[in-house]
Chains A and B, each alone.
Chain A
């Protein structure tokens, strides 16, 4: 299939992220067109017609999320770009922040116009240094050029943007926890109802969208929602930025049309497994998606419908490749340590469950495992499935049960023999 690009459409240079370069390739043209010729509801209609789904992990249709907000209800509304990008394996929003920050800003302005948002936010994880500096510089350029502030491009539309930095918390990538963080509090997710589009930031209607999802809006407005819906697949239109890492020859960020063949992506586009080794497994969309084996990916394409047939999902687009010879028990230990560290502690199943999972895997790795531990790991995962305030509990459960489903025998071996069948290897073993 054709490999259309919508986002990574220009060569990256030392200045390609700057305003002048962005304008030279047509940047802010969509905003000018919208403010000159379109009403807010027309912009929203194009987004709806595009059929675009969220690219942060939840795949919720953007048009449907926006539709809950009534732009003319007289209340303040807020728009927030989720640039927290904490899902391990994921670094594709970073690409946009570093190399195409104005693409995000123009798209946010279009979204703010459609939703009648006066104050917009970008919540960017605190650890990002270069992406933050590039974004902050782009914001200043945009203000100087009159794209933010009062009477934008001579219209009645006014909008201010604040870049809000996180401070080291994975759970603040969850939309409601993100808003709590912007409010100056702990990153505690909130129960729904009410949805954030009804009561979000400071209890006002708020739209939270992923950076990549938002960044498509400029193209959608410039070329029309219908044109967007023809790229990729009918039920899942557009492209995805995939960040691939781990035991892969050519790690990095790639833009693929949704529906691109999975095996081709790994073996051709990205150069295959590091050192020419066999593929043991691939986590397709961030560690919270279920791992797939080499034989699983053969018939699959890179879209949610296909991955769901194999019990997994595209998630955040953070693909991690694992070569043969890697110890899956030690790998799970890395993941469970992460979830334990990041649990906010608010609700019972996750707070108690993450620590419990971590303690069990630590014990197994230390040679003190017990046969019933495997069932216990499954049980704790099940107790976190659909029972928690946010999806983090479920995510840890998917990671755990996914790895156990595919590699149970390695865990049984480790428990019985009190050592790894793969010498505890995580780093790509040198080709023998």
Chain B
């Protein structure tokens, strides 16, 4: 462990670290644009320079190896003057778009300008213009004037997602980040990570464009239910104190965007594009009304009817949701004991054209909690084989069951969150809450347990599955 000195302080560094890494790991901040812990060293932005004691100039720290006894200064006058000059150069042709740029509030260029420059431009020449609103892909728009050519996005597509979709064409100050002419960024399932990586407002998410200022939003930690990887995510929604009075109340309780939550155990700092589109899953029209054979009833009545069906059944089968949380699954097991023949259902199958699996994050199992469900209820539902003909009650929890497979004469209790025609065909239909309305945990395919927290309140007419199960089996009162 080599000993180095940062601002006179002794620091124990690792042998293969750069000075930048050693500094950040020990609480010394060195600004950086092009450097990223998961990407190769580019060393092109030049902002991370530090002064080696005894020398009169600054050198980049991201590519400076740790050497026993090395003494560096991160905040000397030399470094301060140097940083200011780099900021002057970076903002030389950068458009003052902050007032209309989505990145405002989470932009490194803004932050560093205030910290390290704070002065107006010394140039009396007009700014160089470049392409604005270039569609880099269907999902991402690129503003070349804002781009500082740090190459993080390019390196991401070469080193992480390996789509090789991006590059830099032309040269000098005419250089432009571009996608290959075969539009391969559209086919890169991890493309949107470059929006997070971009340290300025050059790469922006088109679905999120102009939706909201980031300081009006708060992130809630959650787990992506898109596949069995269970990436940690942040679901962004409006802070209650910043609700929009002028609009439909539903606009204040929606998912504005989804970004990764860094989790070294599961997904690192990345998620795939499906995780960005969670609104497409969670904001489908919701079932909010309990029904019996399609006739609206209130929730308590529905639960009572369901309880009677359960009590009267001889050969009941339960299709257990692989989207149920650990808590819900445990509650179901505890409540029904060995009463039901339980089969774990794969609520979601891969959609046509959907990426199946790869070496990075995506798993072929498109359900978030298959692992926990299978651990509790060993048998799986095989939808190619019919259910036993003498089944008299089928409890269907969650999506993905084909009603054509119902044995003749079997009664049905359906617990579902989303509107679908089958809801009206069930003997009893009870609407249940979704992940964003409660706290819980999923277990991913490797056994890692991750927590999600509620973003929104559920409606009163909607039940929580976890407490519902106890009610459904209450008259039984006999544990397994």
Touch test A–B (CB under 8 Å): yes
Residues of A within 8 A of B (CB): 169, 186, 191, 193, 340-349, 351-356, 359-360, 363, 370, 372, 376, 379, 383, 386-389
Instruction: Provide the B74-117 mask, 1 if CB < 8 A to any CB of A, else 0.
Output: 00000000100110111011000000000000000000000000
Contact A348 B171 (CB under 8 A): no
B124 part of interface (Cβ distance < 8 Å): yes
Instruction: Provide the B245-262 mask, 1 if CB < 8 A to any CB of A, else 0.
Output: 000000000000000000
Q: Flag the segment in B42-50, B380-388, B426-434 that touches A.
A: B42-50
Shortest CB–CB separation between residue B360 and chain A, in angstroms? Answer: 24
Kindly list chain A residues whose C-beta atoms are within 8 Å of the C-beta of B58.
387
Contact of B172 among A341, A363, A387 (CB under 8 A): A341
Bound CA span A348–B109, Å: 13
B175 part of interface (Cβ distance < 8 Å): yes
Kindly list chain A residues whose C-beta atoms are within 8 Å of the C-beta of B378.
none
Contact A354 B172 (CB under 8 A): yes
Contact B44 A352 (CB under 8 A): no
Kindly list chain A residues whose C-beta atoms are within 8 Å of the C-beta of B460.
none
Contact B173 A354 (CB under 8 A): yes
Instruction: Specify the chain A residue showing the minimal Cβ separation from B45.
Output: A348
Shortest CB–CB separation between residue A429 and chain B, in angstroms? Answer: 32
Interface of B is mostly: loop
Contact of A347 among B41, B46, B82, B171 (CB under 8 A): B46
Interface of A is mostly: helix
Bound CA span A352–B45, Å: 11
Kindly list chain B residues whose C-beta atoms are within 8 Å of the C-beta of A352.
89-90, 92-93, 173
Instruction: Specify the chain B residue showing the minimal Cβ separation from A185.
Output: B167
Top 9 A-B residue pairs of the complex, sorted by shortest distance between their CB atoms: A345-B175, A343-B172, A191-B43, A355-B173, A352-B89, A345-B172, A359-B125, A347-B44, A383-B85
Kindly list chain B residues whose C-beta atoms are within 8 Å of the C-beta of A346.
44, 149
Bound CA span A360–B46, Å: 23
Bound CA span A390–B472, Å: 73
Kindly list chain B residues whose C-beta atoms are within 8 Å of the C-beta of A341.
172
Contact B60 A191 (CB under 8 A): yes
Instruction: Specify the chain A residue showing the minimal Cβ separation from B176.
Output: A345
Shortest CB–CB separation between residue A12 and chain B, in angstroms? Answer: 37
How many chain B residues have a CB neighbour from A under 8 Å? 34
In the complex where A348-B148, A356-B92, A360-B125 touch, is A343 in contact with B57 (Cβ < 8 A)?
no
B65 part of interface (Cβ distance < 8 Å): yes
Contact B128 A193 (CB under 8 A): no
B296 part of interface (Cβ distance < 8 Å): no
Interface centre among A343, A351, A363 (most CB of B within 10 A): A351
Bound CA span A191–B125, Å: 31
Contact B60 A343 (CB under 8 A): no
Kindly list chain B residues whose C-beta atoms are within 8 Å of the C-beta of A342.
172
Contact B49 A345 (CB under 8 A): no
Kindly list chain B residues whose C-beta atoms are within 8 Å of the C-beta of A345.
149, 168, 170-175
Complex interface residues of chain B between 22 and 52 (CB less than 8 A to chain A):
41, 43-47, 49
Kindly list chain A residues whose C-beta atoms are within 8 Å of the C-beta of B45.
347-348
Bound CA span A120–B141, Å: 45
Given contacts A345-B173, A370-B124, 18 further A-B contacts (CB under 8 A): A169-B171, A186-B171, A191-B63, A193-B63, A343-B173, A347-B45, A348-B90, A354-B172, A355-B93, A355-B173, A356-B123, A356-B125, A359-B125, A376-B122, A386-B57, A387-B82, A387-B86, A388-B46
Kindly list chain A residues whose C-beta atoms are within 8 Å of the C-beta of B172.
340-345, 351, 354-355
Contact B41 A344 (CB under 8 A): no
Bound CA span A67–B86, Å: 36
Shortest CB–CB separation between residue B80 and chain A, in angstroms? Answer: 14
Shortest CB–CB separation between residue A375 and chain B, in angstroms? Answer: 9
Kindly list chain A residues whose C-beta atoms are within 8 Å of the C-beta of B90.
348, 352
Shortest CB–CB separation between residue A337 and chain B, in angstroms? Answer: 12
Contact A348 B173 (CB under 8 A): no
Instruction: Provide the B157-171 mask, 1 if CB < 8 A to any CB of A, else 0.
Output: 000000000001011
Kindly list chain A residues whose C-beta atoms are within 8 Å of the C-beta of B174.
345
